[in-house]
Amino acid sequence: MKKILTVLVLVVLSACTFQTKHRGYVFPSTIDTDITEIKTTAQLRDKIGDPQTKTMYGDEVWIYYGADENYRGPLPHTFTDKTVVLAWVRGNSVQKIQVLQDADLPNVRAAAGETKIPAAIELNALQELFNNVGRFTPAGLGQ
């Protein structure tokens, strides 16, 4: 009985991973002082790089994001050391830069369920199966 219990404990412990992966930009610890010297988009690209996204409406804002994603076995993933850099840009000049850390960011939770897509086609499992017939070519035909 002790051997079975020992094996079960080892299996459970081996399934637990403790690792951290960085997502997005890796900002230097001196980002707050580094941004004070930035006046042009060329300097911004040189210091931080190209933005992950830019706003489409209103003022042009370049957005940079970085965070650490923590994996702790069966526990839910958590994110720490979140940093967002917002740069208001007009032409080739940088008007304003703001750095937001963990405490400055709101705690946003994803809504449960799914978002309905207008004009989406809903298929059941059998329709999905027959819908895929003929879509895939046999291996080795080079298509």
Spell out the alpha helix ranges (H) of the chain: 2-14, 31-34, 41-47, 125-131
**The pLDDT value given to residue 62:** 92
Query: Strand, helix or coil at 91?
Result: coil
pLDDT band at 61 (very low <50, low <70, confident <90, very high): very high
Boundaries of every domain in the chain: 28-106
Query: Strand, helix or coil at 94?
Result: strand
The DSSP letter of residue 116 is P
In whole angstroms, what is the distance from residue 24 CA to residue 66 CA? 4
Residue with tokens 């370049």: 62
**The pLDDT value given to residue 22:** 85
Q: How far is the CA of 111 from the CAs of 76, 105, 114, 135, in angstroms?
A: 16, 18, 8, 34
Contacts 24+ apart (CB under 8 A), 35-38: 35/85, 35/97, 35/99, 38/87, 38/94, 38/97
pLDDT band at 132 (very low <50, low <70, confident <90, very high): confident
Q: What pTM does this model have?
A: 0.60
